Amino acid sequence: MKTSHELVADAKARIHEVTPDEAEASLADIDLVIDVREPEEFGEDHLPGAVNIPRGMLEFKLTADPALEDRSRRVLVYCKTSGRAALSAVAMQEMGYLNVASIAGGIDAWREAGKELVKPALPDFE
């Protein structure tokens, strides 16, 4: 039986990972940025233009939303450190998505590299 770390290592061997610098440079050409972290993580901060589809709901959301049917879209996925994103990228490849990349090191690496993040603000009711 494989451990979660072995599953992630196997997934990373099957996907295309990009550095934060490569991801940032390609953002203008990306059709969809998916943050596969949980909603509370996404609410703390996320990449500009990212949509939140938690890892546990990814396959369901991709098949339920007609806007996500185009399997030729250029997609960038990320999570906290890249494990969930690697598993997500493999799932997407198995579903027929042709152009999926994952950020090596996830949002932690993105943050460390000083890249732009969106930090949602709570409404001011005063």
Catalytic residue numbers read 79
Classify residue 63 by its DSSP letter: H
Show the tokens assigned to 8: 């992630």
Output the CA–CA distances (angstroms, integers) from residue 51 to 16, 34, 35, 97, in the order listed: 20, 5, 6, 17
Output the CA–CA distances (angstroms, integers) from residue 17 to 23, 42, 46, 92, 125, in the order listed: 9, 21, 18, 14, 42
Q: What is the H or E stretch that residue 100 is in?
A: strand 99-103
